[in-house]
Amino acid sequence: MENTQEPPLSGSTCLSKHDWLVLSFIKGVGPARLDRLFTYLNAFEQEQSQFDSKQTANSLISYELLTQLKWPRDTANKAITYLVHGWLEDETKTQLNLAQEWLEQSPLHHLVFRGDLTYPSALGEIPVPPLFLYVKGELTSLQQSKLAVVGARKATQYGLDTAFTLAKGLTEQGISIVSGGAIGIDTAAHQGALSIQRSTIAVMGAGLLNLYPKHNSSLFRSIIEHQGCLLSEYPLNTKVQARLFPARNRIISGLSLGVIVVEASFKSGSLISANYALEHDREVFAVPGRISDPASVACLDLIKQGAKLITCTEDVLTEFPILKCESQLLSQKHHDLNFKKDKNVYPSRNEESNSYVSRETQAKVEVIPSSFCSESISENARTLVNLIDESLVKKSLKNEFELDQLVSLSGFTIDEVMQSCMELELAEILDPLITGYARQLESTT
């Protein structure tokens, strides 16, 4: 398997890369627990003036040590059983084989370990850096100077145009754009970089075999085609889960010199990225908006707290003189955010609504929700989609449902609604919109 055999991982001579990968597949082991063990072994090695490089894992790692490092008892038992006897559960073997097959499928599939030359040095400086990264695309994109552009899914056209323009301008200066691949601001930022045929990096909140959102499949393909990459710290078949997305935001921040927040509400995950940036000693930038615009309230609050207000590419570059010196490209002729009114980075619901209207009469036609297999989705997802269908067919509501609306409709918590919506999107029952979700329809004639 590529990158999983000897030599051992840098900083820990008693465990090979293969060993670390196996440990990551054991149920109950996550990035934090791997990091604690890695940190302990690294510190032990540095403290030993006569450290024996031939020491084995079972001479250093014990059940007692793992439990002291806050590993659950059952997880610690399974880890020791592997390290001492080499025994693996079937599920762990399956994960290992899947990783090996994936790595062998394409030269664009990589597993980058902490300590490898290709591992981004800036990412290794943050608290709890990923022990390894699954990467699909060009590894060279990880070595470029990087800035993150993040923001709300429910973005305004002003926000989308701003993200697109800033990302394009920064990319023209040789800077790689990092974002999360989500709809809204993330999509606009990636597209800004791709508009001039340059690379960009999308950090996923699930395994690379479960890319999310599905709606952005063509965007993800374009990122790969333009020498960018998709990356994740999670095993390949890790499913989409709302709880995983906040942790991926630390990687977006850790990879970057700074984080630019374009639009965000106080509940936006973009604020998590901004907080991580402060924790990581990164620069935080915020784009101002109208004081009456809910999409801009968090950005305005960030500016109050000391985030740097920016309105153009030059505002960002002035904070990083080294980037200006490194740039091999011509400076932009214009630095103000002048937008083309005919450019729409992401389709609005109004545009899509034409498919539900007869061109001859401009009258609404019958809406028929698409069929689906109820046994293939969870009980919460079934309940939610049934409520949506009832609202469309019986109550004749508009086929556009915001998350808050779905919370009120179902009585679920926001986390339960988000998880169900992700599940329904992956099952191709719902389509993502900037403002929420729309039900897929069977027929409109």
Provide the percentage of residues in the chain whose pLDDT is more than 90. 49
Q: How confident is the model at residue 435 (pLDDT cuts 50, 70, 90)?
A: low
* Mean pLDDT of the 9-26 span: 79
pLDDT digits (tens, 9 = 90+) for 349-359: 344 433 343 33
pLDDT digits (tens, 9 = 90+) for 202-251: 999 999 999 999 889 999 999 999 999 999 999 999 998 888 888 899 99
Write the CB contacts of 286 (distance below 8 Å, at least 6 apart in sequence): 260, 261, 299, 300, 302, 303, 307, 308, 309, 310
Query: Pick the residue with more confidence: 443 or 282?
Result: 282
Strands 109-113 and 132-137: antiparallel
pLDDT of 253 above 90: yes
* Mean pLDDT of the 340-369 span: 45
Secondary structure, 3-state, the chain:
CCCCCCCCCCCCCCCCHHHHHHHHHCCCCCHHHHHHHHHHHHHHHHHCCCCCCCCCHHHHCCHHHHHHCCCCHHHHHHHHHHHHHCCCCHHHHHHHHHHHHHHHHCCCEEEEECCCCCCCCCHHHCCCCCCEEEEEECHHHHHCCEEEEECCCCCCHHHHHHHHHHHHHHHHCCCEEEECCCCCHHHHHHHHHHCCCCCEEEECCCCCCCCCCHHHHHHHHHHHHCCCEEEECCCCCCCCCHHHHHHHHHHHHHHCCEEEECCCCCCCCHHHHHHHHHHCCCEEEECCCCCCCHHHHHHHHHHHCCCEECCCHHHHHCCCHHHHHHCCCCCCCCCCCCCCCCCCCCCCHHHHHHHHECCCCCCECCCEECCCCHHHCCHHHHHHHHHHHHHHHCCCCCCCECHHHHHHHHCCCHHHHHHHHHHHHHCCCEEEECCEEEECEEECC
The residue ranges of every structural domain in the chain are 17-99, 123-326, 349-443
pLDDT digits (tens, 9 = 90+) for 130-163: 999 999 999 999 999 999 999 998 899 999 999 9
Give the tokens for residue 261: 């927040």
Q: How confident is the model at residue 418 (pLDDT cuts 50, 70, 90)?
A: confident
Is 1.10.10 the CATH number for 349-443? yes
Is 3.40.50.450 the CATH number for 123-326? yes
* Mean pLDDT of the 307-316 span: 94
